[in-house]
A = this chain, B = another copy of it.
Amino acid sequence: MTVTIKDVAKKAGVSASTVSRVIAEHPRISAETSRKVKAIMEELGYHPNLMAKSLVSRTTRTIAVILPKPAEELLLNFFFYELIRGVLAQLTRAGYDLLMAGGSNEQEELETVTRLVRGGRIDGLLLLYSRSSDPIITFLRKEKFPFALIGRSLDYEDVPSVDNDNVQAAYDATKHLIAQGQKRIGFVSGPTKLAMTQDRMNGYYKAMAEAGLPFKQSWVVEGEFLLESGYRAMASIMTQPEPPTALIVIDDVVAFGVLKGLAELGYRIPQDVAIVSFNNIALSELTMPPISSVDVGTYQLGYTASQMVLRMIQQEEITARQIIPHRLVVRESSLRTVSLA
């Protein structure tokens, strides 16, 4: 049925080993034989069976990405495509394939990982998130299996991971507002159990403290990565006697809610309230007004994390924690003086 290496060998009048070596560009093959065999391969439309190859080489040229279960996916919704493109770009370059897997709960996820790793189906793994005391990470470390984490592990310092400097990013964002003359700056935050949230909060605190600006606890609101979260936060933050005149928002989607909430309360942006948020998803520039946002380099995160895994597979030394530079993209929402069309 399908054409095998033996078919090629027979037709070319050589042994299977020779064909194999032609494919591998083994030096001990004469130019003539190589040419001849290649011609036959072409003619027969031969493609090596990847399973057989993997079986003997104990290598699959495949790495897997584990998708978070639904409950933890919120943030990913808008990142995902960019991230995967970055991952795929790197893997394709290196001749690797990408396997995507997940599970509907923690237990299933771990089972999937076990099956893939122990079953020899993949050479490396990429985790898109970290939860504290993650059994998957524990398992992978025990197996000494090549993997990298996008984000930061709360449990171990030395987990190979690619992340942003979220402290600095929030610091920069806050500084930007301060440079615009803002003094009363609030923070619409996310779930504090996430390293990302904690880091951004700290950057904000740091900038405020450095500038000697007072801040009230009532200007800071925890929430989730949901539109509603930002919307509701406005009701509590902006209705107090002395509300902030500027807000740092943990994520663009949350910022959309903030925009909505502010509009309903009659605040103009940026004249009454200036806004800076994070992640710079494609829609940040489409709102009215466009939102200033810290670009975290989503594509780069995927690209670099994959590269890290590939390096580990090649037994190369890696730096356990790699930082992707961020970049504050300033748009109308944070500018003190703007000329509106």
Contact = CB atoms under 8 A, between A and B. Distances in A.
A118 interface: yes
A9 B85 CA distance: 44
Interface string A104-127: 100000000011101111000000
A86 B51 CA distance: 27
A76 B81 contact: yes
23 contacts: A47-B115, A47-B118, A47-B119, A49-B119, A50-B120, A51-B60, A67-B84, A67-B88, A70-B85, A76-B81, A77-B282, A84-B100, A92-B102, A92-B103, A92-B104, A97-B101, A98-B100, A98-B101, A99-B99, A227-B286, A256-B286, A264-B341, A288-B288
A260 interface: yes
Interface string A71-99: 00100111011001100100010000111
B77 A2 contact: no
A31 interface: no
A238 B252 CA distance: 30
Contacts of A49: 55, 119-120
A45 interface: yes
Nearest to A98: B100
A99 B282 CA distance: 26
A133 interface: no
Contacts of A118: 2, 45, 47
A8 interface: no
A259 B288 CA distance: 9
A283 interface: yes
A97 B97 contact: no
A81 B77 contact: yes
Contacts of A288: 259-260, 263, 288
Given A2-B118, A47-B114, A84-B100, 19 more contacts: A50-B120, A50-B121, A51-B120, A52-B55, A55-B55, A67-B84, A67-B85, A67-B88, A81-B81, A92-B102, A92-B103, A100-B100, A253-B282, A253-B283, A257-B286, A259-B288, A260-B288, A263-B288, A283-B283
A114 B116 CA distance: 24
A72 to B, nearest CB: 13
A191 interface: no
A13 interface: no
A135 interface: no
A54 B54 CA distance: 10
A45 to B, nearest CB: 7
A97 B115 CA distance: 11
A255 to B, nearest CB: 10
Contacts of A115: 47, 50
A110 B205 CA distance: 52
A51 B78 CA distance: 35
Contacts of A97: 99-101, 116, 121
A55 B47 contact: no
Interface string A256-288: 110110011000000000000000001101111
Given A51-B120, A114-B47, A119-B50, A286 B264 contact: no
